[in-house]
Structure 1
Amino acid sequence: MVTVKLHIEKPILPSQLRNLYQGAGWWPDRNEDGIIQLLTCGGAVGAWEDDVLVGFCRSISDGIYRAYVEDVVVLSTYRNKGTGKLMIDRLLNELKDIDVISLFCKDDLAGFYEVSGFKGTKQIVMHYKKQGI
């Protein structure tokens, strides 16, 4: 049975999150030092099967007006079983006092987020990525 806990309730080790990313085919170049930083920069939720991290999502926020949901990832064997919904619901509960919560996703995932109350917009998502270091 999967349980969902905030990072402050059940700490997520950087190695566990890195293993989850790798198992899902995500972020191959993220290292444990960077993961330590991302775990301390906002809310984070883990989905657990016993002591195995099978899902993760996080938020970045100014604490009052805006929050952004990032890195919603679930291992393939746990998808379409409600794990992602449990994580999003827990994260949204933690962000309940925030005015606007945003995320971006692929078109085929829009329905998943709409079930939790997200609505599509006509905004254009733009990124600036620092060039090679």
Structure 2
Amino acid sequence: MDLEIHSDFTKVNLDEMKDIYVSVGWTKHSNEMIKQVFEASNVFAFVTLNGRVVGFGRAMSDGVFNAAIYDVLVHPEFQKQGIAKRIMEYLLAKLSKVSCVHLISTTGNEDFYKKLGLKKTKTGMARYLNPILASEYLE
């Protein structure tokens, strides 16, 4: 498998990214939304196989004190092959000098992130406008 990992958003296909979102059940992401959230982010990891996007992740950071990692996704055809781990390692390396890196795990993936050195927070707070997400993630 000839996987490449890079951070060039201009080299990725939005339709392929949307397909990955849909493949993991995140069906509300339009190409325009994907473009907007990635353009608002400043740290990226894209994994491609023969030029096709098979996984990605993104982060927003001030470069010094804080960062937040979002949307670490791998198409189900390519899961369980270490791709998500490579994405996280790539993002964490890019954020290695940032004091605090936050991430909200999707339910059931907490152990994956623990293996990468992330820990639960004592004071994490959030607000969700979607009541389904609020009931899943908020105490």
Q: TM-score, normalised by structure 1?
A: 0.84
Structure 1 counterpart of 2:102: 102
Structure 1 counterpart of 2:44: 44
Counterparts of residues 63-74 of structure 1 (less than 5 Å) = 63-74=63-74
**Code of the aligned partner of 1:20:** I
In 1, Cα distance between equivalents of 2:82 and 2:10: 20
In 1, Cα distance between equivalents of 2:21 and 2:92: 22
The SS at the match of 1:119 is coil
Note the aligned Cα RMSD (angstroms): 2.1
- Asked if 2 retains the 8 angstrom alpha-carbon contact of 1:4 and 1:90, the reply is no
- Asked if 1 retains the 8 angstrom alpha-carbon contact of 2:54 and 2:78, the reply is yes
Task: Report the alpha carbon displacement of residue 94 of structure 1 after superposing the two structures with TM.
Answer: 0.8
Task: Report the alpha carbon displacement of residue 99 of structure 1 after superposing the two structures with TM.
Answer: 0.6
Structure 2 counterpart of 1:92: 92
In 1, Cα distance between equivalents of 2:9 and 2:127: 33
1:25 aligns with 2:25: yes
The SS at the match of 1:67 is strand
In 2, Cα distance between equivalents of 1:92 and 1:10: 21
Task: Report the alpha carbon displacement of residue 24 of structure 1 after superposing the two structures with TM.
Answer: 2.1
**Code of the aligned partner of 2:79:** R
Task: Report the alpha carbon displacement of residue 9 of structure 1 after superposing the two structures with TM.
Answer: 7.6
**Code of the aligned partner of 2:108:** D
User: Deviation string for 1:53-96 (max 9, x for gaps)?
Assistant: 11111101122110001011111222222111001001111111
**Code of the aligned partner of 1:117:** G
In 2, Cα distance between equivalents of 1:129 and 1:2: 40
In 2, Cα distance between equivalents of 1:60 and 1:4: 22
Tell me how many residue pairs correspond in the alignment.
129
Task: Report the alpha carbon displacement of residue 10 of structure 1 after superposing the two structures with TM.
Answer: 6.9
In 2, Cα distance between equivalents of 1:127 and 1:9: 29
Gaps of 5+ in 2: 131-139
